[in-house]
Amino acid sequence: MTETQPAAPPETTIDETMDDLVDDLAFFDDWQDKYQQIIHMGRALPAFPEPWKTAEHEVHGCMARVWMKGRWQDDRLRLYATSNAIIVSGLIAMLLKVYDNRTAEEILSHPPTFIERIGMDSHFSQQRSTGLAAMKNAIFEIARQGPADGSQGMGTGSQAPGAGNREPGAEEVGRAE
């Protein structure tokens, strides 16, 4: 998350990425294997800097703790998030695979249908489903806010810790309030 070069746009569309996620998990026959894969994805999630774990970036509505931060690289939203629970981190990894490095328009026109297609909505407890919804809502809210007007690339007024790590050209967006 301290990349100095803006990442290239993803090679696949959001729809293709969601299809890939559904196919990846459909490969496993039973839920234990699916969860093992989700745990794997959770562990592979990039580290989230400790100074970013603030109330400002905390996503409420999840049983486990979740922190999320968005930054704009030109017109594309870079997303960083983590949880203190590994399975939730795995769910975050899936959401980031779909929505990270996309434009606001792409994000807002693509609700996370892969969750239902994988069968997670019925499998997870209501609280955890609510957590998924809260994380999705947080991403969509940041996307709705968009890059701040007239301050392209300057990140003016950001109170976020970790601002010192920020490379030029990136704009920080606190999680939706």
Partner 1 sequence: MPDTAAPLLHTSAVNDYDIEAIRRDFPILSRRVHGKPLVYLDTANSAQKPQAVIDAVSRLYAEDYANVHRGLHSLSMATTDLFEAAREKVRAFVNAASDKEIVFTRGGTASINLVANSFGRSLGPGDEVIISHLEHHSNIVPWQMLRDDRGVTLKVIPMHEDGSLDLDAYADLLTENTELVAVTHMSNALGTIVPIKEMAAQAHAVGAKMLVDGCQSIMHMPIDVQDLDCDFFVFSGHKLYGPSGIGVLYGKRDLLDAMPPYQGGGDMIKTVTFEKTVYADLPAKHEAGTPPIAQAVGLGAAIDYLTGIGMDRVAAHEADVSAYAAERLQAVPGLTLVGTAPERMAVVSFTLDCAHPHDIGTLVDLDGVAVRAGHHCAQPVMQRLDLPATVRASFGMYTSRAEIDVLARALETVRKMFA
The DSSP call for residue 111 is -
Q: How many whole angstroms from its chain centre is CA 103?
A: 13
1 lies in the site for partner 1, by CB under 8 A: no
User: Which position among 122, 125, 126, 159 is part of the footprint of partner 1 (CB under 8 A)?
Assistant: 125
Q: Which is nearer to partner 1, 22 or 63 (CB)?
A: 63
Q: How far is CA 153 from CA 7, 136, 148, 164, 177, in A?
A: 15, 25, 9, 15, 22
Closest C-alpha among 19, 38, 18 to residue 28: 38
Cβ 98 vs Cβ 117: under 8 Å? no
SS (H, E, C) 132-146: HHHHHHHHHHHHHHC
Interface with partner 1, residue 93, by CB under 8 A: no
Shortest distance, position 126 Cβ to partner 1, whole Å = 13
Residue in 28, 82, 34 with CA at minimum distance from that of residue 58: 82
Instruction: For partner 1, give the closer residue by CB, 6 or 28.
Output: 28
> Contacting partner 1 (CB under 8 A), which of 1, 22, 45, 86?
86
* Residue (88 or 107) nearer to partner 1, CB: 88
Q: Which stretch binds partner 1 (CB under 8 A): 12-20, 110-118, 121-129, 143-151?
A: 121-129
Question: According to CB under 8 A, which residues from 17 to 36 bind partner 1?
Answer: 30-32, 35-36
The closest alpha carbon to 163, from 57, 44, 45, 7, belongs to 57
Nearest approach, Cβ of 10 to partner 1 (angstroms)? 29
Out of 85, 118, 143, 173, point to the residue binding partner 1 (CB under 8 A).
Answer: 85
Between CA 45 and CA 91 the distance in angstroms is 10
- Please tell me whether residue 124 binds partner 1 under the rule CB under 8 A: yes
CB of 12 to partner 1, least distance (A): 29
Name the residues that contact partner 1, by CB under 8 A.
Answer: 30-32, 35-36, 39, 63-65, 84-88, 124-125, 128
